[in-house]
Amino acid sequence: MHPSSPILVTGAAGFIGHHVAARLLDDGCQVVGIDNLNDYYSVELKRDRLAQLEPREGFQFCRLDLGDRGALQQLLADRQCTHVVHMAAQAGVRYAAENPAAYVDSNLVGFASLLECCRQAGIAHLLFASSSSVYGADARSPFSESHPVDHPISLYAATKRSNELMAHSYSHLFRLPVTGVRFFTVYGPWGRPDMALWRFVEAILGEKPLQVYNEGRMTRDYTFVRDAAEAVVRLLDHSPAPVDAGDPAAATPSASATAPFRIYNVGNRRPISLLDLIRKLEQCIGKSAELQLMPMQPGDVPDTCANIDAIGEAVGFAPGTPIDEGLAEYVEWHLQYARRSR
C-alpha cells in the first residue's frame, strides 16, 4: 500500500528517476519530482523526459539542487512528503577520472544534505540508488549482498559505497528507515547518451568504429529499466527493520542488527557478453558494426552478475523483460527519438 502523501523523487528528469516517477503515477501516487537539470549530458533530453511526466495528474516538478539544504527542507515541509526515492547522482564510471569534484559535490555532499533533511522531516522511508560498481573486481559470481565491498576501483563506486555507509549511520543514530538498491547496468528507453547502448547504436547507425573495451571480453547483467522501477516501487512499501536487535551477530554486510537498514541487488541475473550484445543490436538495427577493439579502461570491471534471491524473498521481485525484447524496445525508441531530436 503506497503512502497517501506525496512521494519525493530526486533525479526525476534522469533516466531511472523518470521511470520510477512514471511507475508511481501509474499506481495513483502523488509525486513531487526534483532535479537540478545539470549539463553533464543533454538538458534537452532531461526536459523531454519531464515533458512525459508534467501533464500527468499527481505530478509536480521543482528545479532544486540537493546541496541547497534550506530549499530542500522547505520543500519537504510544504509538500508533507513522508517517503523519498533518491535517484539523483552524478553518474558515469569513466567521467569520475575527469571531474572528481562533481562526484564529491553531488554524490557525497548532496547525499549528506538529503539524509539530514530526511532526519529533520521524520521521513518514514528513504530508498536510494547504489550501484553494482561497489563490488569492484570481486571475482565471485554472482555478486551477493553478503559479499564484502571494501575495495571499489572507481571514484563513482567509492561514492556509492560511501552513500551506503552514511545511510547506515543515519539509520542507526536516528532510526531512519533506509533501503539501498544496487542497480546492475540498467538500460531501456530514455537512457543517457554516455551509456554503452546509446553509443553502440549511434556508431552502428553512423557506420563508425564501435569502441569495444577489453577487446569484448566482458559480460554485463543488463537490467531493463521498467524492471528496475518495479523493484524500487515494491521496496518502497517494504520498510526495513533490524534483522535481530537482540543479537549483534545476526548482522550481515547488507542488513543491520541495530538499524532499520537494508541493501538489495536489483539485476536481471542473466549476464550477456559484450560481443553477443552487439550482435543482437546489429539484428535489431539491420546493419553490421565495425569493431575497434580497445584495452580495458581504468575503473571498469570484466564481469557483473546479480544474485537477486534477497529481493525475491522480500517483495517477490523477478525481472520480467528478456534481453531480446528489451533491446528491441530500446532501439525502436532510440531511432524515433534521435530522428525527432536532430
**Structural domains of the chain sorted by starting position, each given as residue range(s) with its CATH number in brackets:** 7-184+225-267+305-320 (3.40.50.720)
* Integer CA distances (angstroms), 105 to 39, 67, 101, 201, in order: 15, 8, 6, 32
CA dist 299 and 92 (Å) reads 10
Tell me, what's the pLDDT at 138? 79
Closest CA to 82 of 129, 29, 135, 19: 29
User: What residues contact residue 336 under an 8 Å CB cut-off, 6+ apart?
Assistant: none
**Contact indicator for 272, 304 with CB cutoff of 8 Å:** no
Q: Which of 156, 170, 222, 330 is catalytic?
A: 156
Tell me, what's the pLDDT at 247? 65
Tell me, what's the pLDDT at 91? 87
Mean pLDDT of successive 10-residue segments in the chain (342 residues)? 86 98 97 96 96 97 95 95 96 81 92 97 97 88 91 92 97 97 97 94 93 88 98 96 71 88 96 95 94 83 92 96 97 88 54
Tell me, what's the pLDDT at 298? 79
Cell of 200: 553502440
Tell me, what's the pLDDT at 246? 58
User: What residues contact residue 283 under an 8 Å CB cut-off, 6+ apart?
Assistant: none
pTM of the model: 0.95
103 assigned to active site: no
Alpha helices in the chain (DSSP H): 15-26, 43-53, 69-79, 95-98, 100-103, 110-121, 155-174, 196-205, 225-236, 274-285, 309-315, 323-341
